[in-house]
Amino acid sequence: MNVVKRDSTHPTAAFSLLILLSAAILVTHGVPVQAADKMVGGEFATKGIVTSTVGPNDAKGQPASVLTFTDDEVKKLRDGHYSAALLFQTSSDWADAVTRGAEDEFKTLGVEIAGLSNSNFSASDQAHAVQTIMAKKPSGIVTWPINPDELSPALKKAAEAGVKLALISNMPSGFQQGKDYTGLVGDDLYAMGQKTADNLAKAMGGEGELGFLYFDANAYVVNQRDAAFRTTIEKNYPNIKIIPAGFSDPNHVYQVASALILQHPKIKAIYAPWADPASGALQAVRAAHRDDIAVGTMDLSNTVAVSLVTDGPVKALTVDDPYSIGKSLAAVIGYGLLGKDAPAYIGVPAIAITKDNILQAYADSYHASPPPEVTKALGK
């Protein structure tokens, strides 16, 4: 019997005026510290302590390799004529890699793709996408919730109709595995934050002011990674001063980061939670003519990759394995369709990216070719 296995593995006057007006976007905190298990969103990002990876509901993370199917199970899935939809919150290089992984695994399992959409970071559009895809009667839905609680009613209705749900990185409050969803897939949250923190601190020489752009919204995985980054800096680098600034929309990070640079001219580095907001931070650094500011982030995109390999501002970059995340999400749907219990949380490894391994990361983690700018800069 064969077993199908998954790998675990220019400032101008106008510009200055804009930034002064944008300073109001910076988020400040004066809320008393609560117990860590009661803190969520931006409060957890700025006050929570993370020293290991724990999934939602205290789930212990397991590697993707635990998701396996026998030949008979694959045949049963293929004979079932099932379909699944992929509903993402935005389009990005990372999301594209997740899609490739899911599509490849669904093809192996004989599951058709019922639909693919992104909601441009609009929670209401994402809820509408769930409602719309239900007209096609999918057997499963893979989704990456923007605002999990706003999406909850639509997902609840889908689950009640028998649709199997595989969630990326985030889960609505009160959802119960086996009843409301089949499984959740993310990454090694602590390692993502810790590796980014160590490498950005190294770029700073272990001292100075650090702009901490954290995600000020309830998104479990991002909040955990933000807190892991901050915890590592606070614990291991006492000579680094963290200056927090929150955002809830990646499209506004340019303004937030620009205001941060203007208000704190001694800043030596800026952290952004993932590649999209990091692009906004890079724009702000360039607009302020502050190429001396190092940028650290997580997840690979062509923009941050080019900056890293051309000795631009990006000095710390940590990635997970979005292709494996996609394959795992599809496998979780397969588990649900077979009536098998899926692990509560699948976490893929974290990899610190350098010039030496970035091409391999594109090949292994993204199953994509690097942009010409990257290969040219590396002399390949």
Identify the CATH number of the domain in which residue 140 sits.
3.40.50.2300
- Regarding whether 361 and 226 lie in a shared domain, the answer is yes
Backbone φ, ψ for residue 371 (5° rounding): -65, 155
What is the end-to-end Cα distance of the chain in Å, rounded? 43
Q: Confidence class of residue 53 from pLDDT cuts 50, 70 and 90?
A: confident
Q: How much is the pLDDT for 160?
A: 96
User: What's the count of helices (H) and strands (E) in the chain, helices before strands?
Assistant: 14, 14
Print the domain residue range for 312: 12-54+189-319+353-377
The angle formed by the CA atoms of residues 211, 217 and 222, to the nearest 5 degrees, is 70
Q: Confidence class of residue 88 from pLDDT cuts 50, 70 and 90?
A: confident
Question: Is 60 exceeded by the pLDDT of residue 29?
Answer: no
Whether the Cβ atoms of residue 217 and residue 248 lie closer than 8 Å to each other: yes
- Regarding whether 97 and 160 lie in a shared domain, the answer is yes
For the chain, what is the mean pLDDT?
Answer: 88
Question: Is 80 exceeded by the pLDDT of residue 77?
Answer: yes
- Regarding whether 254 and 159 lie in a shared domain, the answer is no
Q: How much is the pLDDT for 145?
A: 82
Q: How much is the pLDDT for 37?
A: 52
1 located within any domain? no
Q: Confidence class of residue 42 from pLDDT cuts 50, 70 and 90?
A: very high
Return d(Cα 146, Cα 77) in angstroms, integer.
30
Question: How many structural domains compose the chain?
Answer: 2
Question: Is 90 exceeded by the pLDDT of residue 61?
Answer: no
